[in-house]
Structure formats: C-alpha cells, structure tokens
Structure 1
C-alpha cells in the first residue's frame, strides 16, 4: 500500500469499474474477497464480503468498493491458495435467477495468483456460460498466467468433463502489458479498460440472441420538468 498512489489492484478496479458502473441503475455492487484468513478466528475464506457484512456485501459505487477493499486489507490476513470457483458460483447463483433478459451480470476478478482450483473453475465457467453473465479476469504482478489464458477460451473453447462451454464468457488480460513506460497511470487504465471490455458487447448479445430475447421499446425522450412541449401551429 502506498498512500500517494494507487496499487495495481486499485488501478484495475477503478479502470474497469468506473466504466461499467454506468450500466447499473442503483450503483450498488457486491464486493467479495478470496484467499484470506478472517478475524476473529482466522478461518480461510474464498468468498467473503469486503465490507465485513456477509448479509449485505453491497458497496455504493466504485468508490465504495475501493473503501471496502482498503478497510479489509487492514483486518484480514492474505492467504493462499487462489480459488476462483466460489466467487464464480456466487455470481452464477444470482444470474441463474434472472433469465428473462432484464439483467446481465459481470464478474470482475482481480488476482495476482496462479489459480489453485483449475478443474473446479473450468466446471464453474462451463456451467455459467448458459447464464446471463461474463467474467473479466485481470492478472496483476509478475506471476505466470498460463492457466488464465486457458480459461479465456479464445484459442480453445473451454471444457469440463467432456462438456464444452456454450459460449465464450471469459476475458483475461495481464495488467503488466498495459503499464505505460512513462509512468502515466491514466493512460495505463484507459488501455486496460478498452481491451478488457472489448468482448462484453458480443458476449451480451450472444446470450440474448440465442434466447430470442428482444430489446424493450425505447422509453419516450426525457422532458425536463417545467418545460412544456412546444407545438407548432
């Protein structure tokens, strides 16, 4: 933690979050941590509320998520292994309950670790591929991310126990590829967000099209109060 500049976790969270938050009407985001020992008893968890409230893990806006992240770092002890499947399954449970096209879920995972539950994560992703959700993985730090590239599924469609994912729902990028050589963090964040979000529109549309879900009619144009519509006589 550096009090004067964002670390790579915070940069990735802000870069992606500040764009996709505009597609969420109430801007309340559940934020989960994975891979830490929790107070008071030191149990290891791979699915804990960053704000410390498991009954209500929602944070207000990306600024609220950032605040919860900073607070949790003061109270938990970071601890391996790196398991993805609990948080993927967590979001999938919500996505499975809304299949009418009214909601689409995006899970952003920021990690520095080599994945420890590869088989379970692949199964979770194959199961989630038929749900209205996408998974963005941003790898931070110098680790080898070969497993993440496999999860991405761009080269070879991801499969589990002989069953292939219905569609590609994972986008992985290593943050180190976007660090601007001149130290311009704003530029790094813009480049990261552009590539990370590039596949989301097609993933969203592929879900809706295969389910035959059509867009609702556009709402009438907004008229500010106190400005009656002018009609020409």
Structure 2
C-alpha cells in the first residue's frame, strides 16, 4: 500500500485503492527483485502463530525476476508461515520463471530444501484481456483465477498447524419491535 511500516489493506477496496495510489508514484522498471518484499511480509506473518491472521501478498510485475535464487529461498522460508503470494504479470515480458515459482507442477526448492506447501499463484494478465471488449467478464475471470488457490493454501496452513476454526457466533436474529413501539404508532400528519 506504499507504507512499509503499516502495509495492510482492508479488503478488496483497500487493495484497489492502494493500487490506484501506486499508479501515481511507482514507475515499473528493472531490476525486478521479489525477495525483499516477500521477506518483509514474512516478518509480519512470522509474528502470528495462532491462526488469527493470514497474509496475502499481491505482486504486480512487468518484468522478468532478477533475483530468482533469493526469491526461491524467500518462498521456501515463507511456506511455513500464514501467507500466500499472488503474482500478476503485466505486459509482454516472458514470465516462464514466474510460472516456475507457482509450484503447481513441482514443489519449489532452494538449496536442497523444499517448500512445505504451495503458497504462490502466478497469473499472466494478458491471458485475461478480452479482445472482443467484454471488460467485465474478463476482469471477473481474472479475479477468479487470481484467488483460485487461496482457499486451499489457507486450509493447508491451518491443517498442518492443527488450527481448528473457533466457534461460530450465534446466528443473527433481529429484535422485533413491540407492537406499542413508537415506530408502529407514529401518525402521518398532513400539511
């Protein structure tokens, strides 16, 4: 969101607001280093061990990763934390290395260590541009794909830690207004 000391966004609206604000100040250019931002979010996630928070890092990149070894190491380390990483590739760059980070086909490894679980989802934006002009449908497809792996990644973290959902809150029941409540007896005056 542009604030390294408080990098939280509140819901989708917060993510979109942070994105639009970044368009005003961020210039996309190389080199493309993912490991510093992954490590930054991992520090926050490492402080949470009770399952009360789960972090989702969204990286939007227009370039080829230039710190691949460090990024793999960061992902392997982060795979044991309550976090997921979504990478959206924009522009014409070749994103083969980002596909490798996704870990769908093969669990990512670094220096002989394997990631505990798959925490990365890579989506190339260009695959969701509707050439026929149906912008709403293409954005809905993009959103679906971007978020597709999050539920399983979240559940895999909770299961491996033995964290079970807390009790459900009681169901909401609206308080019925008594028949003599002022709203029931209010008269409409004519002018």
Quote how far apart the aligned CAs of 1:228 are. 6.3
CA 1:141–1:172: 2 relative to 1, 3 Å:
same
Q: In structure 2, which of residues 102, 111, 123 is the aligned counterpart of residue 173 of structure 1?
A: 123
Deviations 1:135-173 (A, max 9, x none): 111111111001001101111210000000000111111
Q: TM-score, normalised by structure 1?
A: 0.70
**Alpha-carbon separation, structure 2, partners of 1:206 and 1:188:** 29
Q: In structure 2, which of residues 67, 74, 79 is the aligned counterpart of residue 124 of structure 1?
A: 74
- Which ranges of structure 2 fall in alignment gaps of 5 or more residues? 179-191
Structure 2 match to 1:153: 103
**Alpha-carbon separation, structure 2, partners of 1:82 and 1:152:** 17
- Which ranges of structure 1 fall in alignment gaps of 5 or more residues? 1-30, 32-48
**Alpha-carbon separation, structure 2, partners of 1:147 and 1:159:** 13
Q: In structure 1, which of residues 78, 82, 85 is the aligned counterpart of residue 35 of structure 2?
A: 85
Instruction: Describe how 1:52-201 pairs up with structure 2 within 5 A.
Output: 53-58=3-8, 61-73=14-26, 77-201=27-151
Structure 2 match to 1:227: 176
**Alpha-carbon separation, structure 1, partners of 2:9 and 2:53:** 19
Deviations 1:180-216 (A, max 9, x none): 1212221111111111211111111111011110100
Higher strand share: 1
